[in-house]
Structure 1
Amino acid sequence: MDENRHADLLLEQLLGRIEEYYDAVPRTGALAEDFGTLTLFVRDGRGWPYYARPALGRTGDAVTTAEVERVRGRQRELGVPENFEWVAENSPHLRAAVEESGLVVHEHPLLALDLSRGRAAEGAVAGGTGGEETGAGAVPGAAAGAGAAGGAGEAVCVRVIEDGDPALPYAVAVPYLAFAQPDTQVGAAGARELAEAARQLVGDGSVDVVAERIRDGYTAVAVAEEDGVALSAGQHQPVGAVSEVVGVGTLPSARRRGLGLAVTAALVADARERGVRTVFLSANNDEVARIYERIGFRRVATALIAEPAETAGAEESGEAVEAVEAVEAVEAVE
């Protein structure tokens, strides 16, 4: 087998694993409704509403606008967002039908990190001795999942927390505050706002949902703290040998200190300890993707998210926040 064919085969296998993951992860908290070429995941009890996506094993099949409309009708009946998510390279026929139904499609680079090559890949995320491969400096302690965050000062501790940890409500709340301020500046929201957000998320059951997922092994949460205050947090969600890093956010008043990078490194280290061999994430734009590439991730595909036009503005706000998180990480370690 020639080198190019071998590379194509490896990429095909990787995208197959990611496709299986995207079908499996919502099943940990949702019921799957069959719509032929599409599957709608419906929240089961507490938790968050999920999305519709191509049915596993039928990703190459053509999808009609009528099938998309059927799913959207069910989503409206349930009172959940009319969202569809899929990988462009795995389901090339879905976009036309989704757009014909009136939804707006957003493109996001999909990046992966191969942990099966040994600890070098993890070191790239942690900064460590990544050298020319990453172009990033050191983040001491992050590769071990705990310790001081490089560029953030010795007082900052980065760790993966358990379901009963007193920091959990604050770790859940930090990304909410991060995405509530979508500009690119250091913001005013700090400890007082964090305490109020944590109180609300405890009250509405959101923290209990995350705690339950931690106990069940479906979610891991990492937090960066200074003087007992959560400044940055994020999650990864392992399913077998694959996990996705999601929801990394930094308190607006603590931006541009490299905390997002340290949290990401801790999540990657935790994933390795759980036996994960492929970690992936989606970046909101090419600029952010290039920064992730500098810390060891590589671009492998395009993630597509479709939503009604009237909610598309929130997507653009999220892009601005992620750009801050990624840029602050590189600024802190260069």
Structure 2
Amino acid sequence: MRNDNKKNVIVGIFVFIGIAILVAGVLTLGGQQKKFVKSIRLKAVFDDVAGLQPGNNVWFSGVKIGNVRRINFYGDSQVEIEMNIESKTKEFIRKDSKATISSDGLIGNKIIVLYGGTSAAGVIEDGDRLMTEMPLDTEQMMVTLQENNQNLVSITNDLKTLTGKIAAGEGIIGSTLMDTTIAESFKTMLLNFESSSRTANQMLVELNRFSKELNKEGNLIHDLTTDDALYVGLKETMASFQSTAGQLERMTESLNAITEKLQQSDNTAGLLLNDEETAATMKSLVNKLDESATSLNAGLDALEYTWPFRRGFKRKAKAEEAASPK
């Protein structure tokens, strides 16, 4: 009898432990599936769910807020997703939010990700259908990666060929890199550039020294820039020069007017300079005066030998001979 009671106690303990484990499992699974949390239902329509299954999680801003309740066909070839979302999170999700399909990790289970939304749109309500955005197709990504790999291999082969030609000294770059003459010329050019830099630095030092000398007291440049009296005198001199320049300009204008008058024939000087007939008359008059002077000189020479003036000229000749030194 006592053994039977002992067995019953042991069986009862195991039954109790089994029930506790069952209840704990139910509560755990229910917590993971949000079965015991107050929720609302949202919908989204996709062209392709990419292996999404009921029970998969729904995430918003990196936080799990629900799960996929049901997957139904919709329209001709689309799929409608029903999601259970925790009611306490609905104030953060807007009616213009979007839903997309992603993966829990690189190769993990498929999940629904909610994102976006603006404060201008209202808060979601039970039964709302969200806008969707198709995720990147993994197969397309693999095809693109394969094409990129092939392109990379082709680029690598081209680079290998190019570097081989450069190493062989082919082409402009190859000859530039491999030709020692060009290298020596480039080295010489760098040396010349270094020498020019030193010369330029020396010139800058000399210019700096020269500028310091110019700024010393007693120097003309220093006096011109600092002496107020010298500045006033220079200003007055410049004003005098300006006045003289004005007078010269007026004199030039007067000379130009006189020149213009001389080029005209309505005045005596202009008539003498520009009229050919007047010039010919003046030339004839000068010739006649020259001839008259020649005749007068001849007459005066002949006058010396005439009887009334002969004695006077003899007396003059004797006086000049007596006055001349012997």
The structure that has the greater radius of gyration is 2
By relative contact order (CA 8 Å, sep 6+), the higher-ranking structure is 1
Q: Is TM (by shorter chain) over 0.5? A: no
Which is strand-richer, 1 or 2?
1
TM-score by length of 1: 0.14
TM-score by length of 2: 0.14
